[in-house]
């Protein structure tokens, strides 16, 4: 007697006949508390992301087009905020781990495409002046257009031979150069630099440098720590302060620059895929860079929605000790003159 054998079409089971969109998860069926605890964000924010990214997530060329944009956004937020493709996360929205991975890739790509929309320096004069005023209110440092620093995010080893991503702690990482305003919103984010590169080298080769040297305002500057060299548009601390004015300058510089450290802690605390608590990002450097940038975009959007507050340091992240650099500030005499004028005008 012949026994009929059912041949299962996995795509049919996953997507449905004709690749119809499957609504695996309904926002209206769960509480706000559940959404925040599971996906890290409230209902209103999630709905905004679905509207923002919906067109990109419904592209017919994507295999996961049969999964609704809402489900894809939830899957990605679950990964960004938890740091793992846990089975319970996929079960909660009714998709497999493989589908979770594709959803994260799709949402990440859509967010990266929109990075220039949400991460940029202000352009009109009123916004620039407001930026300076906000910084001045922190510690009395004038003319500040942003604070800049680097932070490392751990990634898996690309291959055994490639040592360019091995940082000073012997771990594989990306060295991410970021600038933020006085409220912690990112103004620039370059997330692709290999972990072996010193901060000063990253800045030297970064798009940020050419942006400031060729395009941006000449009547202001960034603040950077001692890992960077003094430039006409980048004020650094004095290596050995001697006069009262120099001490006051260094204290104001430190208090103002601290904003970027608090911003790094806030981003790591919200997006646990970056803090190392669940291990390194298990992707290529390019894909890891995109995930970091996607989280940066979400950070700025969350600030626009009033969601973020300064948070306590996250645990488990990769942060190499500050590197030692020879003090070579005198090489740029114009930069030295500008800093000395700043000292005499505002701190004497």
pLDDT digits (tens, 9 = 90+) for 241-293: 999 999 999 999 999 999 999 999 999 999 999 987 777 898 999 999 999 99
How sure is the predictor about 3, in pLDDT bands with cuts at 50, 70 and 90?
Answer: very low
Instruction: Map residue 121 onto helix, strand or coil.
Output: coil
Euclidean distance between CA atoms 103 and 50, whole angstroms? 13
16-61 pLDDT tens trace: 433 344 455 677 778 889 888 888 899 999 999 999 999 999 866 4
From the number of C-beta atoms within 10 Å of its C-beta (0-12, 13-18, 19+), residue 155 rates as buried
Euclidean distance between CA atoms 165 and 36, whole angstroms? 34
Going through the chain in order, the beta strands assigned E by DSSP cover 144-154, 173-180, 186-194, 221-223, 234-235
Mean pLDDT of the chain: 84
Cβ–Cβ under 8 Å, residues 138 and 257: no
Task: Give which of 70, 266, 305 is closest to 184, Cα–Cα.
Answer: 266
Residue 11, token pair as written in the block: 């795509």
Residues above pLDDT 90, as percent of the chain: 64
Residues above pLDDT 70, as percent of the chain: 80
pLDDT of residue 107: 97
For residue 122, the tally of other CB atoms under 10 A from its CB is 16
What phi, psi does 39 have (nearest 5°)? -115, -5
Euclidean distance between CA atoms 317 and 174, whole angstroms? 12
Euclidean distance between CA atoms 70 and 194, whole angstroms? 34
Cβ–Cβ under 8 Å, residues 225 and 325: no
Residue 281, token pair as written in the block: 């990002």
What phi, psi does 258 have (nearest 5°)? -60, -20
Model's pTM, two decimal places? 0.86
């Amino acid at each position: 007697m012949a026994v009929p054998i059912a041949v299962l079409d996995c795509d049919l089971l996953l997507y449905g006949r004709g690749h119809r969109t499957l609504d695996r998860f309904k926002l209206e069926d769960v509480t706000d508390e559940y959404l925040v605890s599971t996906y890290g964000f409230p209902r209103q924010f999630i709905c905004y992301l679905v509207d923002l990214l919906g067109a990109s997530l419904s592209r017919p060329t994507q295999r996961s087009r049969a999964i609704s944009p809402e489900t894809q956004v939830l899957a990605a937020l679950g990964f960004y905020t938890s740091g793992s493709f846990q089975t319970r996360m996929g079960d909660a929205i009714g998709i497999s781990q493989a589908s979770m991975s594709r959803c994260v890739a799709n949402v990440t790509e859509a967010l990266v495409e929109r990075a220039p929309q949400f991460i940029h320096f202000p352009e009109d004069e009123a916004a620039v002046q407001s930026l300076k005023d906000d910084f001045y209110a922190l510690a009395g440092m004038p003319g500040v257009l942003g604070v800049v620093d680097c932070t490392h995010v751990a990634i898996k080893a690309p291959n055994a031979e490639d040592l360019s991503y091995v940082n000073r702690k012997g771990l594989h990482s990306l060295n991410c150069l970021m600038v933020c305003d006085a409220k912690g919103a990112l103004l620039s984010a370059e997330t692709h630099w290999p972990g072996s590169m010193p901060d000063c080298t990253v800045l030297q080769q970064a798009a940020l440098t050419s942006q400031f040297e060729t395009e941006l305002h000449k009547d202001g500057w960034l603040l950077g720590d001692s890992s960077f060299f003094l430039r006409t548009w980048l004020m650094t601390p004095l290596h050995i302060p001697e006069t009262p004015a120099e001490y006051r300058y260094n204290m104001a510089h430190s208090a103002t620059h601290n904003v970027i450290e608090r911003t790094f802690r806030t981003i790591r605390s919200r997006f646990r895929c970056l803090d190392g608590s669940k291990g390194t990002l298990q992707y290529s450097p390019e894909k890891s860079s995109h995930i970091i940038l996607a989280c940066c975009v979400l950070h700025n959007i969350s600030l626009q929605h009033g969601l973020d507050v300064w948070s306590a340091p996250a645990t488990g992240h990769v942060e190499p000790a500050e590197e030692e650099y020879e003090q070579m500030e005198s090489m740029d005499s114009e930069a030295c003159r500008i800093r000395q004028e700043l000292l005499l005008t505002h701190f004497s």
